[in-house]
Amino acid sequence: MSIQKIVEQALLDGHLTPVMEAEVSRICDTASALSVEEYMALDKLMGALLTGQVVALPRKQFINVMEELVLTEAIARVAEIEVTSGLKLDVGDIAAYALNRLPPLYATTEEGANYQSQRASLELQQLISEQIEQAIARNLDRPEFFPERQAISKTSGNELLKNVSTLLQAYAPDFEQSSGSDPDSKSS
């Protein structure tokens, strides 16, 4: 999907989804140069975000309690291994490997999260530990295939505005649309 279509959809819906945001970022990151139309669409999106005409939706309105449980155990195990062996392990890779093999435990409230956490402690702790151990073993055994990989990062609404602004400044430093240069207006 093009930047223009994403901006049109965001203006139509009144919100920018995380998927739309990611696609705009991907296009900007991979394009060698953006067109004037793309810059104008990004400028329109920035204005709509600033005025509230378009709202950037949060990435999550719920949590997967399993993520926290796995991360806690993975961090503890990785720290233990790194201290005793001097090896450097990737906690994110280990957690992702284990999470892909464990059931999700979603919650939308604090009470639900507490319930899921207690349930997991009683019923799933052994399985969590086993998956972390397998993930560590896999991580220790694999070669470094793609050293240029970039970790996934989360962005908030303010960060999105900063990112769009930075993109506009970087790719179109001299582009300013003045009130007299409206491409749709006709001169007499």
- Collect all residues with Cβ–Cβ distance below 8 Å to 9 and sequence separation of at least 6: 20
Picking from 118, 99, 93, 98, the residue whose alpha carbon sits closest to that of residue 107 is 118
- Collect all residues with Cβ–Cβ distance below 8 Å to 129 and sequence separation of at least 6: 73
Domain boundaries, the chain: 3-58+156-171, 63-141
- Round to whole Å and give the CA distance between 100 and 87: 24
Q: How many other C-beta atoms are found inside a 10 Å radius of the C-beta of residue 115?
A: 14
Q: What is the pLDDT of residues 101-151, one digit of tens each?
A: 999 999 988 899 999 999 998 999 999 999 999 999 998 887 666 666 665
Q: What is the pLDDT of residues 53-100, one digit of tens each?
A: 988 877 767 889 999 899 999 999 998 988 888 888 889 999 999 999
- At which residue do the structure tokens 């070669």 appear? 143
SS3 string, 17-79, reads CHHHHHHHHHHHHHCCCCCHHHHHHHHHHHHHHHHCCCEECCCCCCEEHHHHHHHHHHHHHHH
pTM above 0.95, yes or no: no
